[in-house]
Chains A and B, each alone.
Chain A
Amino acid sequence: MKTVWTIARRELASYFTSPLAYVFLVIFLLLSGFFTFTAGAFFERGEASLAAFFAWHPWLYLVLVPAVGMRLWSEERRAGTLELLLTLPVTTAQAILGKFFASWVFLALALALTFPVVVTVNVLGDPDNGAIAAGYIGSLLLAGAYLAITCMTSAMTRSQVVAFILAVVLCLFLILAGFSPVTDLLARWASPSFVDAVASFSVITHFDGFQKGVIDSRDLAFFVSVIGFALFATGVIIRGHRAG
């Protein structure tokens, strides 16, 4: 556990030694503000909730989370430091978890910096703060799922750009499977049970409950298994490179 923390600490610190972290934070906050208040019509809704805020997160994260996670492994491979890291007395699992947690903590920090919307909605009305808390938990899990997928794509290649694009494409699939225009289209010719089966793979379907303030164990299990699976796949890919 200590080793995981040591790895995470270095990774997290490296975000802040480059301007990337600050650029990311600013863009994330600007965009989430724009989507909430302008595109999401926060004021016109006439309700004291953060529905307009959370509804955009699957799309917002689609670009921003791969940008945060793309260098995790590809950069290590490109610079040759992977050899340094994996010949230290650490297991591959420790290295994967350390890197994943570092980026997840960074995303959590970005999310935490959106606290002004919580303050705003509390000043303007009397929202259900439990539902808001659930929304934040869901949003963090959503970011974690995207991040784990980005870890996986990052381990596949030396190029950060390729890792980024692959991650965006995979995450887009996870959105579209449950995105209503797509499910409506599918419903025209497929049986409802098939549409449901496809939609059950989508982050939209599982994020929905959190937005409404419901923490369902099935939704929780979905996100945890996406993260678990993607990180496991990361391990397989990293070991695969070395096995030759």
Chain B
Amino acid sequence: MIRIENLVKTFGAKRAVDGISFTVERGEVLGFLGPNGAGKSTTMRMITGFYPPTSGRITVGGYDIVEAPLAAKRLIGYLPENAPSYPDMTVRGFLDWMAAMRGLEGEARKKAVARVVERCFLEPVLEQSIETLSKGYRHRTCLAQALIHDPEVLVLDEPTDGLDPNQKHEARNLIRELGKTKAVVFSTHILEEVDAACTRAIIIDRGRIVANGTPAELRAMSALAGAVTLRAEGATEEKLAALGRVERVDGALRVYPADKTASAELTRAILELAAREGWKVESLRVEEGQLDEVFRRITLPDTVRK
């Protein structure tokens, strides 16, 4: 649904987005990760037609956002960063107006408003003016606006920002749910959200894509991935050293295999060794790798990395 080729955006001398390419299909939820200022919002603003790209090509549902902006924009629901809305309008007035701007009329408009009000739990504040709402409600009002025309493509810039933990949970569920039938792109810098909602994640740093894969694939990039952590009475580093590099962590021993994909063999070998030596095993865990470690390792500036 979204196809991006060699996207570049410069502001003066600064290259905010520097040659990004990716695609998002229906049924996918793409998490867009990166440190602040990496170019996440700029990319999203280009996808939604707010910023024209300096070079490169974006098509949404086959329509080029530069050449056929109206047709492309009709397919997109967009939640901009900081969830802006018109503070002097009531929630109902705002959603009704948004529906009208999307070309919905009469009964269809009423139904659309009722549907998103239910979906985003806005019933209690429907007649309040937006300026009197809490941040969470304001955010949900803007999210409701993005869903009003039941778009095929959803672009959400930090959809969980400013929500409390319960609301975050709801929002993630909603995103996952929506991702079953739509193409969803959302940006975040909360890594748990990648696991909670995404089918695929892209990490960008200084305008470039530095990683692209499923959450599991990204985790596997971690140095920790595939290692086996053993907690056992009697276990010693010397005996385990034959199986791989060993490290002592909080009283447990962690063995890193030479080949990350061979963690099953390693586990079996450790268990056999423990049985032979008569160690009392308390726990044995295969490490999946940690996203935040991957994230930090690939997005840190070069100077800090050394």
A90 interfacial contact with B, CB 8 Å: yes
A187 interfacial contact with B, CB 8 Å: no
**Residues of A contacting B82 in the complex (Cβ-Cβ under 8 angstroms):** 80
B67 to chain A: closest CB distance in Å?
A: 14
B45 interfacial contact with A, CB 8 Å: yes
A189–B87 alpha-carbon span in the complex (Å): 55
Contact B50 A242 (CB under 8 A): yes
Q: A10-B86, A10-B97, A81-B85 are in contact. Are A87 and B49 (CB under 8 A)?
A: yes
**Residues of A contacting B129 in the complex (Cβ-Cβ under 8 angstroms):** 17
Q: A87-B49, A89-B74 are in contact. Are A6 and B97 (CB under 8 A)?
A: yes
Which of A13, A83, A239 is in CB contact (< 8 Å) with B84?
A83
B89 interfacial contact with A, CB 8 Å: yes
B39 interfacial contact with A, CB 8 Å: no
A244–B50 alpha-carbon span in the complex (Å): 11
Contact B100 A87 (CB under 8 A): no
**Residues of B contacting A90 in the complex (Cβ-Cβ under 8 angstroms):** 70, 101
Contact B50 A86 (CB under 8 A): yes
A168–B191 alpha-carbon span in the complex (Å): 51
A40 to chain B: closest CB distance in Å?
A: 37
A18 interfacial contact with B, CB 8 Å: yes
B102 interfacial contact with A, CB 8 Å: yes
A76 to chain B: closest CB distance in Å?
A: 9
The winner among B9, B16, B71, B100 for most chain A CB atoms within 10 A is B100
**Residues of A contacting B78 in the complex (Cβ-Cβ under 8 angstroms):** 84, 87
The winner among A6, A10, A79, A239 for most chain B CB atoms within 10 A is A10
B51 interfacial contact with A, CB 8 Å: yes
Please count how many residues in chain A sit with their CB below 8 Å of the partner chain's CB atoms.
24
**Residues of B contacting A18 in the complex (Cβ-Cβ under 8 angstroms):** 88
**Residues of B contacting A79 in the complex (Cβ-Cβ under 8 angstroms):** 84, 86-87
**Residues of A contacting B76 in the complex (Cβ-Cβ under 8 angstroms):** 87
B54 interfacial contact with A, CB 8 Å: yes
B187 interfacial contact with A, CB 8 Å: no
Please count how many residues in chain B sit with their CB below 8 Å of the partner chain's CB atoms.
38
**Residues of B contacting A122 in the complex (Cβ-Cβ under 8 angstroms):** none
Q: A244-B10, A244-B11 are in contact. Are A83 and B74 (CB under 8 A)?
A: no
**Residues of A contacting B10 in the complex (Cβ-Cβ under 8 angstroms):** 244
**Residues of A contacting B50 in the complex (Cβ-Cβ under 8 angstroms):** 83, 86-87, 242
Contact B73 A81 (CB under 8 A): no
Question: Per-residue 0/1 for B107-120: is the Cβ within 8 Å of any A Cβ (1 yes, 0 no)?
Answer: 00000000000000
B52 interfacial contact with A, CB 8 Å: yes
**Residues of B contacting A14 in the complex (Cβ-Cβ under 8 angstroms):** 86, 88-89
A123 interfacial contact with B, CB 8 Å: no
Contact B88 A17 (CB under 8 A): yes
A242–B42 alpha-carbon span in the complex (Å): 11
Question: Which residues of A in the span 88-128 have a Cβ within 8 Å of any Cβ on B?
Answer: 88-91
A3 interfacial contact with B, CB 8 Å: yes
B43 interfacial contact with A, CB 8 Å: no
**Which A-chain residue is minimally distant from B42 (CB atoms)?**
A244
A79–B78 alpha-carbon span in the complex (Å): 16
A86–B70 alpha-carbon span in the complex (Å): 10
**Which B-chain residue is minimally distant from A16 (CB atoms)?**
B88
**Residues of B contacting A9 in the complex (Cβ-Cβ under 8 angstroms):** 97
Contact B88 A83 (CB under 8 A): no
**Residues of B contacting A3 in the complex (Cβ-Cβ under 8 angstroms):** 101
A1 interfacial contact with B, CB 8 Å: no
Question: Per-residue 0/1 for B1-39: is the Cβ within 8 Å of any A Cβ (1 yes, 0 no)?
Answer: 000000001111000100000000000000000000000
A23 interfacial contact with B, CB 8 Å: no
**Residues of A contacting B188 in the complex (Cβ-Cβ under 8 angstroms):** none
A13–B86 alpha-carbon span in the complex (Å): 12
A56 to chain B: closest CB distance in Å?
A: 32
A185 interfacial contact with B, CB 8 Å: no
Contact A244 B84 (CB under 8 A): no
Q: A17-B88, A88-B102, A90-B101 are in contact. Are A244 and B54 (CB under 8 A)?
A: yes
A28–B71 alpha-carbon span in the complex (Å): 44
A83–B52 alpha-carbon span in the complex (Å): 13
B52 to chain A: closest CB distance in Å?
A: 6
Which of B48, B80, B93 is in CB contact (< 8 Å) with A80?
B80
A86 to chain B: closest CB distance in Å?
A: 6
**Residues of A contacting B81 in the complex (Cβ-Cβ under 8 angstroms):** 80
B171 to chain A: closest CB distance in Å?
A: 19
Contact B84 A81 (CB under 8 A): yes
Q: A80-B80, A89-B73 are in contact. Are A242 and B51 (CB under 8 A)?
A: yes
B contacts, CB < 8 Å to A: 9-12, 16, 45, 48-52, 54, 69-71, 73-74, 76, 78, 80-82, 84-89, 93, 97-98, 100-103, 129, 142, 145
The 16 sampled A-B contact pairs (Cβ below 8 Å) are A6-B97, A7-B101, A9-B97, A10-B97, A14-B89, A17-B89, A80-B82, A83-B84, A86-B49, A89-B71, A89-B103, A91-B70, A243-B52, A244-B9, A244-B11, A244-B12
